[in-house]
Amino acid sequence: MSEPILRVEDLRTQFFTSRGVVRAVDGVSFHVDAGETVAVVGESGCGKTITALSILRLVPEPGRIVSGKILFKGRDIVEMDSEEVRDYRGNDVAMIFQDPMTSMNPVTKVGAQIKEAMTAHDRFSPAEAAKRVVPLLKRVRVPAAERRVSDYPHQFSGGMRQRAMIAMGLANEPSLLIADEPTTALDVTVQAQVIQLLKQLNRELGTAIVLITHNTALVASMCSRVIVMYAGRIVEEGPVDQIFARPEHPYTWSLLRSVPRVDEARKGRLVSIRGLPPDLVRMPPGCKFHPRCLFKVDKCSKEEPELEEVAPGQQARCWVMMSTVSEETREAAQTSEVAFDVAAEIKKRMRSDARA
């Protein structure tokens, strides 16, 4: 395998709010090889979007990259001066966002916004850029591209707009495309089309894709490797089929169990993970998942485990590891009434919200 195009080493990004320091990304390391499709999975608030933004050095106020390296083809993004980073953004690494409705400038034509992505860098002359816009739209399967190019975003449907965003991202043929929950705001049929499109572009252009999502089903259909994040750190990483078959970290295991599997008969009950993601300001001691872990042992709440190799290419951060847990305890965990009181708790909370 050649040198990975992206290597993140012990990245820490923190937000200095009046409530305290929010450790959004708390020591994350991973790599992405050329042409590879990697998924970053985790509940909202686990730091996956902030990691992506840190890669592009677009961390919003009051956040800052506190420490760690982000090496893109050997160059450290964190040390780059602002002009160098600007040229790198959208050229070497591009990013598309979750809500196509608000991610495009409502008062400028779609074609212009795509052309702009190219003219911002000197890879294509303005004339070449203008010529490439319609083919780009065609490549992302936007019908009647010649006419639609002079339309405004509000004249595109949600799916259509996301395709335009993808075209914008790929305009400069970047080596890496980060897609931050590209399908969340879309309905299911359109979701499948977008994922299909991304897979096809990865094959044809060889662009490495980092897909950020909380929808594990998408991961299976598209990515070769998956990284599971929780509370600002990686808790498990490895090839997709290995992780799906034998998840070692209880969190990964619960995640996979809370997704209805079409292929499996409705055997077990769906597992919902007890409680809510931790408050990133006042982190619990030890393993950050221990308050919600059904298989925790005494050590878990004292000391945080390191990532350790559990299988070829697969790492996990846990003192127990699912492989050591017997079949019966797994069954018991799945049916425990614990799930019920959590649901009741959440409902109560929602009502108080409405009343306030």
Partner 1 sequence: MASPAMIAEQVDWENPEQIGLWTDAWTRFRRNRLAVASLVIVVVMIVLAIIAPLLQRVGIIPDPTAQDVVNSYASPGSPGHLLGTDDLGRDVLSKILFGAQVSLSIGIFVQFIVLGIGGGIGLVAGYYGGWVDNALMRFTDIMYAFPDLLFVLIIVAALGPTYLNILFAIGFVAWVGLARLVRGSVLSIKEKEYVEAAHAAGSSPSKIILKHLLPNSLGPVIVTLTFGIPAAIFTEAVLDFLGVGIRPPQPTWGVMVFDGYAAVDSYPYLVIVPCVALSLTMLAFNFIGDGLRDALDPRMRR
Partner 2 sequence: MALVTGAPLRGALIPLRKRSGRGWTLGIYIARRLFWLVPVMLFVVLITFFLAHIAPGSPWDKEGRQLSLASVHNLNVKYGLDQPIWTQFGLYLWNVLHFDFGTSYQHPGQSVNQLIGATWPATFTLGAVSFVVIVVVGVSLGVVAALRQNSFVDYTAVALATVGASVPNFVVGIVLIILLSNFLYKITNATFFLPTGGYPQDLLHMIMPVATLSFLPIAYLARLTRSSTLDSLRQDFVRTAWAKGLRERLVVTRHVLKNSLIPVVTVAGPLFAGLITGSVIVEQVFQVPGIGRSYVQAIEARDYPMILGTTMLYAGLVALLNLVVDVAYVFIDPRVKLD
- Taking the least distance from each CB to partner 2, the nearer of 103 and 334 is 103
- Taking the least distance from each CB to partner 1, the nearer of 1 and 107 is 107
What does 121 interact with, of partner 1, partner 2, none (CB < 5 to 8 A by kind)? partner 2
Stretch that binds partner 2, among 153-161, 186-194, 201-209, 212-220 (CB under 8 A): 153-161
C-alpha of 108 from chain center: 28
**What track of x and - describes contact with partner 1 for positions 225 through 264 (by CB under 8 A)?**
----------------------------------------
Name which of 332, 338, 337, 322 is nearest 253 in CA terms.
322
* Site for partner 1 contains 128 (CB under 8 A): no
Name which of 151, 120, 119, 149 is nearest 135 in CA terms.
149
The answer to whether the peptide bond before residue 62 is cis (omega within 30 degrees of 0) is yes
Q: Are 223 and 211 in contact (CB under 8 A)?
A: yes
> 22, 50, 104, 166: which one contacts partner 2 (CB under 8 A)?
104
Name which of 180, 241, 243, 234 is nearest 212 in CA terms.
180
> 47, 68, 90, 250: which one contacts partner 2 (CB under 8 A)?
90
* Site for partner 2 contains 107 (CB under 8 A): yes
- Taking the least distance from each CB to partner 1, the nearer of 10 and 345 is 345
* Three-state DSSP state, 256: helix
Which residues contact residue 173 at a Cβ distance below 8 angstroms, ignoring those fewer than 6 apart?
A: 123, 205, 207
Measured at the CA of 353, the angle between CA 349 and CA 356, to 5 degrees, comes to: 135
Dihedrals phi, psi of 290, to nearest 5 degrees: -60, -35
**Rounded to the nearest whole angstrom, what is the least distance from the CB of residue 154 to partner 1 in the complex?**
6
Q: Residue 334: is it exposed, middle or buried by C-beta count within 10 angstroms (0-12/13-18/19+)? A: middle
What does 103 interact with, of partner 2, partner 1, none (CB < 5 to 8 A by kind)? partner 2
**Rounded to the nearest whole angstrom, what is the least distance from the CB of residue 114 to partner 2 in the complex?**
9
* Site for partner 2 contains 105 (CB under 8 A): yes
Query: CA of 153: how far to CAs of 66, 136, 171, 232, in Å?
Result: 37, 16, 18, 34
Give, as ranges, the residues between 159 and 218 that touch partner 2 (CB under 8 A): 165, 168
> 34, 101, 130, 311: which one contacts partner 1 (CB under 8 A)?
101
- Taking the least distance from each CB to partner 1, the nearer of 275 and 313 is 275
* 225-230: strand order across its sheet: 93-96, 176-180, 208-213, 37-41, 225-230, 233-239, 314-316, 308-311
**To which residue do tokens 């992405």 refer?**
32
**Rounded to the nearest whole angstrom, what is the least distance from the CB of residue 60 to partner 2 in the complex?**
8
What does 18 interact with, of partner 2, partner 1, none (CB < 5 to 8 A by kind)? partner 1
> 246, 274, 299, 330: which one contacts partner 1 (CB under 8 A)?
274
> 5, 41, 56, 136: which one contacts partner 2 (CB under 8 A)?
56
* Site for partner 2 contains 43 (CB under 8 A): no
Q: What is the DSSP string of 174-189?
A: -SEEEEESTTTTS-HH
**To which residue do tokens 């252009």 refer?**
205
CA dihedral sign of residues 237, 239, 243, 244: positive
* Site for partner 2 contains 240 (CB under 8 A): no
> 4, 27, 291, 305: which one contacts partner 1 (CB under 8 A)?
291
C-alpha of 340 from chain center: 29
* Site for partner 1 contains 266 (CB under 8 A): no
Positions in the binding site for partner 1 (CB under 8 A) = 18, 101, 154, 274-276, 278-279, 282, 284, 291-292, 345, 349, 352-353, 355-356
Positions in the binding site for partner 2 (CB under 8 A) = 56, 58, 60, 86-91, 94-95, 97, 99, 102-108, 116-117, 120-121, 143-144, 147-148, 152, 154-157, 165, 168
